[in-house]
Amino acid sequence: MEIPNNWVNLTEIAKASGRRFNDFHRLKSSEALLDKLELKHGTPQIIVIQGGTPEIQGSWGSPELAEFVMRWADSPKSANSYRFEAYHKEILAAKLGGDCCVWTPAGECDVVTKKYAIGVKEYRSWKHAIGQAQTYAYYLKKTPAIYLIGTPPNTCREVCQYLKVAIIE
């Protein structure tokens, strides 16, 4: 079974604070949340990987669900959305063979690869991600790109196409 891009290992989030994801999953409020998210996205929000490579075993979930699990687990990663984004920056940099948090005269670029200067944001902040990516790309002489945690709205895709900003998925 393939894990969708930008999904997070929920088992590891819970484990980081000494908890078990199954405890979160059994809560009535979690059932209601999962129903709501599945209705919104039209797909299951959890994939369970058993056996095979140990690094990918566990319960994997959408970024939106992961935010709730992080708050519940009260792990260091859950303190605020900045840390949630930082978690994704590190994963994306490793996945793309890039560097995380590269300094420019305009500030810190989230992820830099051979080709892209990437702004990483939660999907509701897509406009900020575009502006940051364009600014960092200017200083780094790279192609601007964004990586959104969650599903970007169609308007975001249209604006990115118009501005020639790549969307990393």
Locate the domains of the chain by residue range: 8-78, 81-167
Average pLDDT over residues 32-61: 88
Give per-residue pLDDT as tens, 63-103.
Answer: 888 888 887 876 444 444 556 677 788 888 888 999 988 88
Higher pLDDT, 85 or 58: 58
Give per-residue pLDDT as tens, 111-147.
Answer: 999 999 999 988 888 999 999 999 999 999 999 999 9
Q: What pLDDT, on the 0 to 100 scale, is given for residue 18?
A: 80
Average pLDDT over residues 160-169: 94
Report the mean per-residue pLDDT for the chain: 86
Identify the CA nearest to 160 among candidates 137, 135, 129, 138: 129
Q: Which residues, including other chains, have CB under 8 Å from residue 110's CB and lie 6 or more apart?
A: 85, 89, 100, 101, 118, 119, 120, 132, 136, 147
